[in-house]
Structure 1
Amino acid sequence: MHILVADYVPLANKGEEAIVRGIEDMLSAGRPLSLGLFDDVPQVTRRDTITVFPRQWLFRFEGNSALSGRSRILMQARIALQLRLGLRGLLKNLTPAGPEQCRPLQDFFQRAEYVLVGHDGVFCVESCGIIHLAKKHGKRTGILGASAGISGGRRYKAWLYRRAMEESDFCIFRERHSCESMKQVCRDPAKLRVGPDPAFAMQPAPREAAREVLERHGLYRQARSDNRPIVAVTALEKGRVYAGFRPDLQGRAKQEAHVEYWASILDRLIDKHRAFVLFLPHSVESDGSDLVAAKHVIQQMKAPPDHCAILEQDCGPRLLKAIIRECDFLVGERTHSLIGSVSVGTPFAALTNRRDTRTHGIIGDMCRCEDRIVDMDVLGEHEAALKIMELFERRDAIRESLGQIREGLAKQIEETVRTIKGSRGSAS
């Protein structure tokens, strides 16, 4: 079975790959499966079950960055006009009308049973054109995991978005805010619904694989030997969570304030609870690596260096999820590390801000864990540390409560699978 995830998917961000692997686990049903997607690669690349096509073959921009900046908005408006006039632009590369160099993509599109758009919140005017084209070619197609609404660029997007939702076989959003926004332009609002981010469905690697990686680190082995609690951390310096932290600051001043905030929290966990802090590489993108962010935080911490470590190995998302399962607690800014924590039952505290509808929608609303979210634009570092201490001290009760949450999510994932497969699912 072939599934084309017709989005820009930067695989260096393990949250992005977690979504794709979740789709793989949701739809494979034990059958061999090939996934296609788009990333910044110079030529077609294969990674086990994933075929990666050059992003430039289909998209002019990288993800939702297309929605910011006057020049990019104008370009999106131009693309929208072309699509309304029936001009396919780069989308012709999916069909035999495209150039010979895109033949592998054309073959994959022809064989695809499903064409999905909207992963990790990404949804743009090109997504609308992809749905239209896929429908014309008899594919089962739709929106899965989007968290982009109709706010910016409504004048040029509304008609295309309306048509896309009419033509889609399913419209599943990963948080309520975006779903309600898209209902404003949908003729059949009941067709739109909220469902779990596909990363919830991704199975973790075996425990033995996670333990093998962790046991290579002498500091980790010593911490386990000393019966110290292991606290996983995902810290970042890029994206909406970081942008929402102290928006009054920029550049070096913002970075310094951010690491001071983190250092205050982690030093308190170490001092009061003898915690051992393990920084995870949830993204190793060249322009926003979590490894760099972790080093900045450690430099600011007062705790001795043997109280923390950075996992520098480039781990796949299944392995990272398994590693989170081995930890006693997680403090994270990365939404998909929090999704992983919920999925495997590891207690956590989420760091974000009030404007982050993604974390609040997925973790707060869908997972009913709003009390485990720390808005850094509301609480100072001292108040944040106190709240995280309180959550850490309740970790056994939180772990137990996550069991019921996971059961509810599993039922919602099953419903999502039935919706995506439609009659094909009942026939298989």
Structure 2
Amino acid sequence: MVHNVAIASMTGARNRGCEALVRSIIDGIHTVIGRDAAKISLHSADAKYDRKIFGDDVAATYDAHPLSWPSPLRLKALQGPQIRMARLAEKTLLPSEKPGAISRRSLTALSDADIIVATGGDVFTGDYGPSNFRSHCHILHLGKPVFFMAQTMGPFAPAEEAYLRKHAGAIAMCTVRESDSLEYLQKIAPEIPVHQAADVAFLLPSIDADAARRILEVEHHFPIEGKKLVGVSVSAGIVGYRGAEGKVDYIGETAKFVNELNANGYAAILIPHVQNIAIEANDLFACTEVLRQLEHPERNLVLSLPLSASEFKGIVALCDVLVGARTHATIAALSQGVPAVAIGYSRKSFAIFRDYYGEDISKDLAIDVVDMTADKIGAAFAIAQDMPRTTDRAAEMKQRALTSFERLKTILEAA
């Protein structure tokens, strides 16, 4: 029997964290359920780009920007005729559809799925506002079981908590990636079946060390022999997410920290883990701004070529420490046992670090961007650089991440 699995809530693989999530979900389904036992469709806000990234690993990729979904009542009214039209169009010529919209083909594929797997990591939180949360929740109105996979959930305003409880019957399973979300959901919506797993990106494969060195030394002309490397994931949007504009000189403080690294014999690899079309959401511009403020920019490198999430992960493995303002850049480090420092804007970073390192150590390694200074990053880095690699803990988290796919398999086999 072939199971029809739809992956939804994908904003696009230009965000390498989103790529890491979807790549890991695809690989997990193939590994645990079987490549020939699952037909996977991907519903993305950046479908044309993602078709190139995931290729034949998915049966189809559809345009489905969450913010373009109609209201639940409108969706219910349109669902029947939209689906009939889309099925007819599959047999003829499908007219071009507006980019960035929920396409008729996407609606058809979601409605035909055996289960909808919601990815996104933190899209089902209150971090980006109630309208963003509800737009992603439209998958709960299609009459299909939904699996929230390895999510950070909440906290929500009371109205969103009530909304989630109202539609809990559509949620076949929710696995969360940290204990804060587990405790929160058990408190506000005990009717939702929830279990703690780990972020599925712990399972993301990495390129090997020789391939990573080639990217640095040959493709970027940056010899690393004898150098002590520190990965620095720079975020273009972190200050805006936390409402800290004008309060924190994020770029300036990051540059001061890198200057201190250079003074102590380290070279920084500046990592643009998100490269969206919009400049304000493109880390390559933020990395460049940091580089321009350095006293010795030639001692450091911006990874300026288009690299995959697995290639970034391989480069992180060459570093002594990773200082990350992007969650999945830090997970690239944690999943390989590389000591990491997190600069965060929401509880997801702090909760993931607490579950990985424990309460005492995580408090010293996770920094709220509102309170971020070069000195605070330096103090956290001093602790991280003296830590051994945590390969055993990384292996434990990978096993925990696999449990999401085991639960998915159980649901599909029981259907």
TM-score for both structures, normalised by structure 2: 0.80
Shift of residue 337 of structure 1? 0.4
* 2:205 aligned residue: 203
Letter in 2 for 1:60: S
* 1:343 aligned residue: 335
Cα distance, 1:207–1:167 mapped onto 2, change above 3 Å: same
Of the candidates 291, 299, 313, which is equivalent to residue 298 of structure 1?
Answer: 291
Distance 1:218 1:160 in 2: 49
Secondary structure in 1 matching 2:305: coil
User: Are residues 1:282 and 2:285 paired?
Assistant: no
**Structure 2: gaps (5+ residues):** 95-102, 125-132
Letter in 2 for 1:22: S
- Whether contact under 8 Å (2:231, 2:268) holds in the other structure is yes
Secondary structure in 1 matching 2:121: coil
* 2:186 aligned residue: 183
* 1:67 aligned residue: none
Distance 1:338 1:89 in 2: 43
Distance 2:215 2:263 in 1: 26
User: Are residues 1:6 and 2:8 paired?
Assistant: yes
Cα distance, 1:88–1:387 mapped onto 2, change above 3 Å: same
Secondary structure in 1 matching 2:333: helix
User: Are residues 1:125 and 2:125 paired?
Assistant: no
Secondary structure in 1 matching 2:139: helix
Distance 1:258 1:173 in 2: 30
Distance 1:37 1:178 in 2: 25
Distance 1:149 1:10 in 2: 22
* 2:100 aligned residue: none
Q: Where do residues 246-261 of structure 1 align in structure 2 (5 Å cutoff)?
A: 247=244, 249=246, 257-261=249-253
Distance 1:407 1:159 in 2: 37
- Whether contact under 8 Å (2:337, 2:391) holds in the other structure is yes
Distance 2:383 2:277 in 1: 35
- Whether contact under 8 Å (1:166, 1:186) holds in the other structure is no
* 1:72 aligned residue: none
- Whether contact under 8 Å (2:337, 2:393) holds in the other structure is no
* 1:36 aligned residue: 42
Shift of residue 292 of structure 1? 0.6
Distance 1:201 1:43 in 2: 23
* 2:326 aligned residue: 334
Q: Where do residues 317-332 of structure 1 align in structure 2 (5 Å cutoff)?
A: 317-332=309-324
Cα distance, 1:379–1:160 mapped onto 2, change above 3 Å: closer
Q: Which segment drifts farther, 7-16 or 119-128?
A: 119-128
- Whether contact under 8 Å (1:200, 1:340) holds in the other structure is yes
Distance 1:44 1:391 in 2: 35
Shift of residue 106 of structure 1? 5.3
Cα distance, 1:299–1:128 mapped onto 2, change above 3 Å: closer
* 1:374 aligned residue: 367
Distance 1:26 1:301 in 2: 41
Secondary structure in 1 matching 2:142: helix
Distance 2:187 2:411 in 1: 28
* 2:130 aligned residue: none
Letter in 2 for 1:166: G
* 1:232 aligned residue: 231
Letter in 2 for 1:347: P
Shift of residue 235 of structure 1? 0.5
Cα distance, 1:173–1:93 mapped onto 2, change above 3 Å: farther
Distance 1:163 1:110 in 2: 21
Of the candidates 381, 384, 402, which is equivalent to residue 377 of structure 2?
Answer: 384
Letter in 2 for 1:161: L
Cα distance, 1:381–1:89 mapped onto 2, change above 3 Å: farther
**Structure 1: gaps (5+ residues):** 62-74
Secondary structure in 1 matching 2:174: strand
How many pairs are equivalent?
A: 380
User: Are residues 1:418 and 2:411 paired?
Assistant: no
Of the candidates 142, 148, 162, which is equivalent to residue 165 of structure 2?
Answer: 162
Distance 1:295 1:43 in 2: 24
Cα distance, 1:376–1:407 mapped onto 2, change above 3 Å: same
Secondary structure in 2 matching 1:169: strand
- Whether contact under 8 Å (1:418, 1:425) holds in the other structure is no
Cα distance, 1:215–1:131 mapped onto 2, change above 3 Å: same
- Whether contact under 8 Å (1:4, 1:112) holds in the other structure is yes
Distance 2:289 2:52 in 1: 34
Letter in 2 for 1:121: D
Cα distance, 1:128–1:90 mapped onto 2, change above 3 Å: farther
Q: Which segment drifts farther, 87-96 or 118-127?
A: 87-96
Pairwise CA RMSD of aligned residues? 3.2
TM-score for both structures, normalised by structure 1: 0.78
Secondary structure in 1 matching 2:9: strand
Shift of residue 184 of structure 1? 4.3
Q: Percent identity?
A: 19
Distance 2:44 2:220 in 1: 38
